Amino acid sequence: MAKAINFVGERRKKLTQAQKQDQKILKIAINALIGVFAVFLIVVGVRFYFVFRVKDIKDTEAQIRTRILANEPVEKDYIIFAQKLKKLALFFGRRKDKQEALVFFSEVFGPDVIVSGIDYSSDEEDVVSFTIKAPNVFVMERVFATLQEEQVTSVYPNIRKSSMRRSATGNYTVDLAVVLAAENPSPAPTTSAVPAQPATEEE
């Protein structure tokens, strides 16, 4: 009888220890499951955060692109307007330089030389063209000598001469093409020269 009681007691002890062991394992499993679930929640939260950030960046990019597209016509108009202003400034600057060159050459050759056939309509090139008319060959030689003088070459170093001819009345004419420099100093008027009157037609 005593042996049976001892056997039952030992059996109960073994069952109690097994239950305690099972409870420990269950607690460990529950904690592991809780940890895995927490990591899953963190990963999902981080993913949703980055998805939200990407969406926010895309929305901002779309708004900026819409603003840029809305301002594109204004920017195009501004660029066109600025280019027109630049061309106008260059155009009037060239016109002014060409007019100064004509005044200079009208004065530098003296009163017996006539400047005619003026053409400064070529706005794409810094060139002014005109015709010099001299009453005789000696005056024309003086014109050529003047073109070689420092007062002319220092201001207009590039002058092209062409089509020299003599009329039936003995007048000599020659065509001049003056290439203007990028920046010309203001030519000083000569003291001994009187502005020549432009001729409308050659005798």
In this predicted structure, what is the pLDDT of residue 199?
38
94-179: CATH architecture: 2-Layer Sandwich (3.30)
Residue 179 pLDDT greater than 70, yes or no: yes
Confidence of residue 198 (pLDDT cuts 50, 70, 90): very low
In degrees, to the nearest 5, what angle opens at C-alpha 101 toward C-alphas 97 and 103?
120
Residue 185 pLDDT greater than 50, yes or no: no
pLDDT digits (tens, 9 = 90+) for 110-140: 888 888 877 765 555 678 888 989 999 999 9
pLDDT digits (tens, 9 = 90+) for 12-39: 666 677 777 777 888 888 888 888 888 8
Give every CB contact of residue 37 below 8 A, 6+ residues apart in sequence.
none
99: nearest Cα among 120, 73, 82? 120
Domain ranges for the chain: 94-179
Average pLDDT, the chain: 75
pLDDT digits (tens, 9 = 90+) for 136-162: 999 999 999 998 998 888 888 888 888
Confidence of residue 203 (pLDDT cuts 50, 70, 90): very low
DSSP 81: H
